[in-house]
Structure 1
Amino acid sequence: MDFVQLLDMLVHVDKTLGTLIAQYGTLVYAVLFAIIFCETGVVFLFFFPGDTLLFIAGAFCATGHMHPLLLMLLLVTAAVSGSTLNYWIGEAIGHRVFTHDYRWINKDALRRTHEFFEKHGGKTIILARFVPVVRTFAPFVAGVSDMTHARYQLYNVTGALIWVVGLVTAGYFFGNIPQVRDHLTLIVLIGVGVAVVPVLLGGLWKLGRRMLGR
């Protein structure tokens, strides 16, 4: 297998996980750890699979190919450590990302994440776990935005636990149902929407009260 084939397999690992398990056995744990770490820790690797990978991995746990508790422990660790690295990079670079031309950073995605972060504060770190691309940029923006390390880690660990344990467990019980597997992204986005809408309504209510008070 050449490098291009390996990269393609890793990018589409949610579809080739069975092949990886058959070829590499228990080494697949290290592969999945590396993918989740990179997807959450390196801003230019935002295209790596996240939600679908966790869900499909849970489905393979249900068939006995992987141990669910070991998988959850490793992937929570990968998600927390990857996001922490991303936060440190954002903290080190600071506000220069908005004024300098860094070719390795997607400015549009960064701005969208920053706007989302400004609206929802620390909750973004948790909610972003379930939104592709945003979950990769949110830790970086948290570092740029000078969120304290202790406060960030509170949301970081909480979000990682909910994200990994929730999706792996869902995959374990529902991953072999075609209707659920084929519409996973839509289901996740609906769930995030249910969580975000009350926050938005609360913000609009406060804004309306302020305007009426004036």
Structure 2
Amino acid sequence: MSYTGYLIYQGKMSYILSIFIATLGAVIGITVSYLIGNRFGYNLILKYGKYIHFGPERYNKTAKWFDHHGNKLLVFAFFIPGIRHFTGYFSGISRLPFKIFARNAYIGAFLWSITFVTLGKVLGPQWEKFHHSASKYLGIGIVGLLSFIVILFMLRRYKTSLKYFLNNYITSFSTRFFLSLKRIEIFIICLAVLFLSMLIFTLGLSEQYLHNEFKELNEVSIYIINELFGDNWNFIMKGLLVLQIPLILLIISMVSLILLFVNKRNLILEFLFFITSIVGGVIFKEVITHVFHYLKPNTGSLLHFEFPNEQSYMSIVVYGYFVFVLMRHLKNDIFTRIKLITPILVLFLLILIGVANIYFSIQIPSDLIAGYTFGAAWLFLNLLLLEILRLIQQYKTFPNKRAI
């Protein structure tokens, strides 16, 4: 379909007509599959379902869930290779009302068509070089973007109920979460999972880097960002870059340190891990930089070696530790909503800082991603050890008390 966009760029086809025909074809295809599933699918379940442990009872539960929640996946299913070919059949088999099916599936067909036709048009003369890679990465990005849009829609639709839930449950829960040893143990498990996830991700990135597998990702990412953000974004991007300069990171680190001293609990332990997270993070970064430079000596001078990138590495360590301090130590109800929204805002901010680096061609995407990933792994390791030692200390001091 992106090739159609390339032909549009050459002036051989109409943009609007191409999108219409592509959408129409997708609509016809998924409608036919829905009708087939609706007409024949249930009888097959009744006759053969028991042999694959999917009898009428389990089918009814699945159909009920799909009717209430799964039908929304129809909007995204077109962007997922292998999945889009079966959603129509399953919608029919589950007896999803045609009106609901058509609404979600046809919206998905239109978004899928306009996305990849437009992609080919945007790539233009670079289509032959980038179309396969761009389709893959853009598909992932579109699914993420559409998920974000759906979340915003749900927030607006259930604004009143969400506000009530936030005020009566989440607020109370977040202010008292760290007062229970059991909940702290759950928090430690979450940190362990995050650390292991980042560790696995860093190993994967390292292997790809050593085998020179980032060229495709870098070229596609740079091209798309340059196409999406023009000269009118210059001022905003410069402002984002300011947030990663050493002075700003130093200020954020000092604010975190001040909050630790204000808290006054486990001060020696907290200060020790503040040093290991921030200062130790700098040392760890230098060590892994030398290791990768040793493994790939043909990459040039060590002075200009940027895998993983230092700015993105230190940004996620400093900002991440700041978020941890806010979440862990601000127990006043006044700060509760700030605590809830800060992690999301900081994550979004770090992504934008990365985009700004690519926008000005300061760093390449793979180095930035590596910086964020290695930084996150180091941060989660330190936070995990901190919470384990804090818990051990708590058990020794107050074996029958709540957490502090």
Q: TM-score, normalised by structure 2?
A: 0.31
Instruction: Give the equivalent residue in structure 2 for 1:189.
Output: 140
The counterpart of 1:77, out of the listed 21, 24, 49, is 24
In 1, the alpha carbon distance for the partners of 2:20 and 2:150 equals 30
Q: Secondary structure at the match of 1:91?
A: helix
How much has 1:137 moved relative to structure 2? 0.4
Pair 1:72–1:198, CA change in 2 (3 A)? closer
How much has 1:155 moved relative to structure 2? 1.0
Contact persistence 1:57–1:171 (CA under 8 A): yes
Q: Secondary structure at the match of 1:94?
A: helix
How much has 1:189 moved relative to structure 2? 2.2
Contact persistence 1:61–1:172 (CA under 8 A): yes
Higher relative contact order (CA 8 A, sep 6+): 1
How much has 1:147 moved relative to structure 2? 0.6
Could you tell me which runs of 5 or more consecutive residues in structure 2 were left unpaired when the two chains were aligned: 49-61, 155-164, 174-404
Matched, 1:61 2:2: no
Q: AA paired with 2:131?
A: R
Contact persistence 1:59–1:172 (CA under 8 A): yes
Q: How much is the aligned-residue C-alpha RMSD, in angstroms? A: 3.5
In 2, the alpha carbon distance for the partners of 1:197 and 1:97 equals 37
The counterpart of 1:160, out of the listed 106, 109, 112, is 109
Pair 1:97–1:80, CA change in 2 (3 A)? same
Instruction: Give the equivalent residue in structure 2 for 1:144.
Output: 93
Query: Residues 115-171 of structure 1: CA distance to partner in whole angstroms, max 9, x if unpaired?
Result: 9x8495222111001111211100110001111011111112211111111210121
Matched, 1:177 2:126: yes
In 1, the alpha carbon distance for the partners of 2:125 and 2:31 equals 33
In 1, the alpha carbon distance for the partners of 2:24 and 2:149 equals 30
Alignment: residue pair count? 143
Q: AA paired with 1:75?
A: A
Instruction: Give the equivalent residue in structure 1 for 2:73.
Output: 124
How much has 1:67 moved relative to structure 2? 2.1
Instruction: Give the equivalent residue in structure 2 for 1:34.
Output: none
Q: AA paired with 1:92?
A: R
How much has 1:68 moved relative to structure 2? 2.0
Identity within the alignment, %: 23
Moved more, 66-75 or 135-144: 66-75
Q: AA paired with 1:166?
A: T
In 1, the alpha carbon distance for the partners of 2:110 and 2:148 equals 22
Contact persistence 1:130–1:163 (CA under 8 A): yes
How much has 1:63 moved relative to structure 2? 0.9
Q: AA paired with 1:141?
A: F
In 1, the alpha carbon distance for the partners of 2:23 and 2:100 equals 18
Query: Residues 4-52 of structure 1: CA distance to partner in whole angstroms, max 9, x if unpaired?
Result: xxxxxxxxxxxxxxxxxxxxxxxxxxxxxxxxxxxxxxxxxxxxxxxxx
Please tell me whether Structure 1 or Structure 2 has the larger radius of gyration of its CA atoms: 2
Q: Secondary structure at the match of 1:66?
A: coil
How much has 1:180 moved relative to structure 2? 3.7
**Aligned counterparts, 1:14-53, within 5 A:** none
How much has 1:198 moved relative to structure 2? 8.8
Query: Residues 159-208 of structure 1: CA distance to partner in whole angstroms, max 9, x if unpaired?
Result: 111111121012111243256424121331243245448979x9xxx9xx
Pair 1:69–1:199, CA change in 2 (3 A)? closer
Q: AA paired with 1:169?
A: T
Contact persistence 1:175–1:181 (CA under 8 A): no
Q: AA paired with 1:148?
A: P
Contact persistence 1:126–1:155 (CA under 8 A): yes
In 2, the alpha carbon distance for the partners of 1:90 and 1:83 equals 10
Contact persistence 1:123–1:155 (CA under 8 A): yes
